[in-house]
Structure 1
Amino acid sequence: MLNLPDFDDHEAVTWVSDRKSGLRAVIAQHSTVLGPAAGGCRLWSYGSPEAGVVDALRLSRGMSYKNAMAGLPLGGGKAVIFGPVPADQREAVFEAFGAAVERLAGRYVTAEDVGVSVSDMQIVARQTRAVSGLPRASGSVGGDPSPYTARGVLRGIEVAMRQADGRTDLEGVRVAVQGLGSVGGALCGLLAERGAKLLVADPHPDRVAAVCEATGAKAVPLDAILFQDVDVLAPCALGGILTAEVIGALNATVIAGAANNQLADRAASAALAASDLIYVPDYVINAGGIIVVAAEYLGGQTEADVLDRVDAIGPRVADLLARAAREAVPVDALADQLAAGLIEAAR
């Protein structure tokens, strides 16, 4: 693991195995300089254990940068549970996962991510208080973070389109959305409300049908969604989809979506820098979810406070894009530099 390219001086990487429940998981803590390592728990069927470890390493580093850029008193962490998990074992698996989080004594705070629901986090909460994304109590903030993530992505898209062609609204803007899970589906609703024309794709036909019926979107084959002639490409599925080859074949003006770790590798970053694409770094635009998770866990904020912080993603994206253009540097490299600088300053 220490030789993997995605190992970035992580503070701790914990392998979790529970024979009784069948749980197999990895919890990666990238940094606790700014606060406890916070980041969701993903349940996925990986091709190999190494692939799951790499995902945890990349995602936890992204959470460190995301939380730093959002001004949150949290470090970066991430957990992955190796699937599949049989339905009759799901409760036991998340009970065991909660116990594993508790053994980390508050150094890692979990929440839901891909493949994990609010009800799963309720099971985790039986074992530990280091959990967020729980059902909202009366008068408090919290709950499912996906609508907040979608709202932040919307704000980023608005700003990116303003830079692209001076638009002040999204009426008639063509957006291709890859992935119609909780965030992608919510984003489609917000875009449709603002008059955007949507092209959508997802492996689950029922999701595609529901979004098309609700928003008037047009369904596109999954293997074609990235290459549509659109104003905005919004990746909202899994990461690593933007390779150098894919970037060279895109017909979009802006890339702005909710997926984590969209750039597959350094070659993809170089291809992006050599293109005319406007790219909004994923961990800057998709911070809405962790903003509400932090508010729920730390307390002391109202719903209005949370929405103000989510909406501040727009000006933050605008400043980042403007500075990258002014200094003639790749925007993803600039974002990494700024986030790492914030962490080092705190250290």
Structure 2
Amino acid sequence: MRYIAAVLGFLAIALGLVFAATWWVDPYGYFGRMPLGLYDVTLARHVKARMISIQRPEGVLMGSSTMMGVFPNRISGCRLYNAAFPGARPSELAYMAEAFLPPMELAVIGLDFFAFNASTESDFLHPSFGTMTLAKTAAYALSFDAIRQTRYTIKTWRKQRPAFYADDGSAPAALAFWEEYQAGQHSAELTEAGLDGVVRLLFGNWRYSVTQVVALEHLRDVLAARGVKAVVYINPMGPTLTARLEALGLVKDFQQFRADIRRIFPESIDYSDRITEPERFYPADPMHFPPDTGTLMVRQSLEHAGLCRR
């Protein structure tokens, strides 16, 4: 009898620990601890969010993959951490600011038009969970996929993080691979295929998201309440992508996006009409740009705000 009680007790403790770990990481956002993203990228979203409190920088770089290529050590005058992750939208950035940011001086935020597509607000690969129930909660918390993602995230955060990210949040190995891949994408066919993929994934079934506008207002208020200076800019897009969006009839919503950013952050900088040279972007992916372009925008934005000058 004691043996059975011991086994049952062990199983109860083990299940409790598994449930607690899944709740803490919440890889697919069921518990609402981390909003669902455009991509199923639990690694960057969760690991970086928690590394901020460990590194305790003077400021953070916040945004999507368009910000991930910026190396904080190339920005003099401030000790920054690159907290960007793929597919980030204002709702996710607001959650990160509210739940994970320690006391700091500033947040540099690069905003992307694609992040305001209402059609991609629910998780891209997984359907909405709907109403939370006990059975659904147990099925999620104890599912093989959720446990696997939770284990991988915790393991990476504790032991393997240096293989993915430097202490400043940059990802030199991933960036080197990406640039090598891009270097081979010079043929017209591959470039056009890359453009088609970007448009289909990020701008398909387009609907301008009021939800993300409200989330951006919340992000502004959270940072202001904590005394964090928000340095905001709009990321540019390559001319081929801009032309494609014009052909899709998205110009009106793009102008609304720009107007909303100016209203919420009056001191923001709009690089969408300042950086338009094709060589500033990757040929096969005009949504993204080399580190030099991203670093230039961060530096100019900080100079415009009068920050990081020491």
Regarding TM over 0.5, the answer is: no
Larger Rg over CA atoms: 2
TM-score range, shorter chain: under 0.3
User: Larger strand proportion, structure 1 or 2?
Assistant: 1
TM-score, scaled to structure 1: 0.25
Structure with larger RCO (C-alpha < 8 A, sep 6+): 2
TM-score of the two chains, using structure 2 as the length reference = 0.27
